[in-house]
């Protein structure tokens, strides 16, 4: 939830640009991989930056979000380039009354035709989270951090309990920042309804989920950077785990007792350890 005075369009575009740049710096968005969207529920002026308007069908009806605005990265756009020229990489969708259709606002300088093909998953997650929490702001990021993605190819890390007890053990902050741990969605075809359904379900109980053999999706109700931070925390944990695998697992990590003590001290509710 964001309190007034609300960020303006340029602030929001800058937030998306900064997150895109950071994801690129941690090598979680090679080429045109990854996508970012935000949903905001306060009125915002789009026409100055995005004067071209067309009607579009939404991937699913979202009647309760009539009037809400989505800023979404364009299909095939590079996340690292949003910061330089946001209107070339971002499209804005305002949901029409009834929630089946929307108005897509674009810049004349855009370098894409459609918003990201993963918008169905983004929209489903925004809708589900906003209905349950009532937030007026919600950010969703899909990125492809290599160490997390690599671990998702190893069968024993496809078990959520195994994954979390092994990844949460390398730094005290990891459990503090990701107290629900990392969710796991088995491999599903990109952009498919099955991937959307699995993501929606897992993000009800986690702030970040792995899309097996593909990447991650993370969310935040505060800022886009907060969602990007979650990708970075999880990827750093995976990097330690990978490092440990590469030296025959000589590291032991923090013990379950130590992690429980950290959680008691910082008042973190968790049920992994």
Which residues make up the interface to Zn ion (CB under 5 A)? 215
Q: Which is nearer to Zn ion, 198 or 215 (CB)?
A: 215
Q: Which is nearer to Zn ion, 96 or 191 (CB)?
A: 191
Using alpha carbons, list the distances in angstroms from residue 116 to 79, 127, 213, 238: 11, 17, 19, 27
Q: Distance between CA 89 and CA 106 in Å, rounded? A: 9
Q: Which is nearer to Zn ion, 99 or 215 (CB)?
A: 215
Q: Distance between CA 196 and CA 190 in Å, rounded? A: 9
* Maximum Cα–Cα distance across the chain: 59
Using alpha carbons, list the distances in angstroms from residue 157 to 168, 221, 238: 13, 28, 11
Q: What is the CA radius of gyration of the chain?
A: 19
To Zn ion, the closest distance from the beta carbon of 82 in angstroms equals 16
Region for residue 8 given its phi and psi (left: phi exceeds 0; alpha: psi -120 to 50; beta: otherwise): beta
To Zn ion, the closest distance from the beta carbon of 211 in angstroms equals 7
3-state helix, strand, coil in the chain (%, to 5): 40, 20, 40
To Zn ion, the closest distance from the beta carbon of 172 in angstroms equals 31
Q: Which is nearer to Zn ion, 102 or 215 (CB)?
A: 215
Cβ-based burial of 271 (10 A; exposed 0-12, middle 13-18, buried ≥19): exposed
Q: Which is nearer to Zn ion, 76 or 179 (CB)?
A: 76
Q: Which is nearer to Zn ion, 20 or 102 (CB)?
A: 20
Structure tokens at 110: 């855009």
To Zn ion, the closest distance from the beta carbon of 144 in angstroms equals 5
To Zn ion, the closest distance from the beta carbon of 140 in angstroms equals 13
Residues forming a β-bridge with 140:
37, 219
Q: Which residue is nearest to Zn ion (CB)?
A: 215
To Zn ion, the closest distance from the beta carbon of 143 in angstroms equals 8
């Amino acid at each position: 939830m964001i309190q007034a005075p609300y960020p303006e369009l340029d602030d929001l575009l800058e937030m998306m640009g900064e997150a895109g740049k950071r994801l690129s710096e941690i090598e979680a968005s090679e080429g045109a991989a990854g996508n970012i969207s935000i949903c905001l529920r306060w009125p915002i002026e789009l026409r100055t930056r995005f004067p071209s308007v067309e009607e579009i069908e939404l991937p699913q009806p979202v009647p309760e979000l009539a009037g809400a605005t989505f800023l979404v990265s364009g299909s095939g756009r590079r996340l690292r380039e949003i910061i330089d020229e946001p209107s070339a990489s971002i499209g804005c969708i305002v949901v029409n009354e009834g929630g089946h259709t929307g108005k897509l606002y674009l810049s004349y300088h855009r370098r894409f035709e459609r918003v990201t093909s993963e918008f169905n998953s983004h929209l489903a997650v925004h809708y589900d989270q906003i209905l349950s929490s009532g937030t007026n702001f919600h950010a969703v990021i899909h990125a492809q951090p290599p160490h997390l993605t690599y671990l998702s190819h190893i069968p024993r890390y496809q078990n959520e309990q195994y994954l979390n007890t092994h990844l949460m053990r390398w730094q005290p902050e990891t459990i503090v920042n990701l107290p629900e741990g990392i969710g796991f969605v088995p491999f599903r075809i990109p952009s498919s309804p099955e991937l959307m359904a699995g993501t929606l379900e897992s993000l009800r109980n986690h702030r970040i989920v792995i899309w097996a053999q593909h990447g991650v999706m993370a969310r935040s109700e505060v800022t886009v950077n907060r969602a990007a931070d979650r990708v970075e925390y999880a990827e750093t944990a995976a990097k330690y785990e990978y490092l440990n695998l590469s030296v025959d697992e000589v590291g032991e990590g923090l013990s379950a007792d130590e992690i429980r003590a950290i959680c008691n001290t910082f008042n973190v509710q968790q049920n992994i350890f």
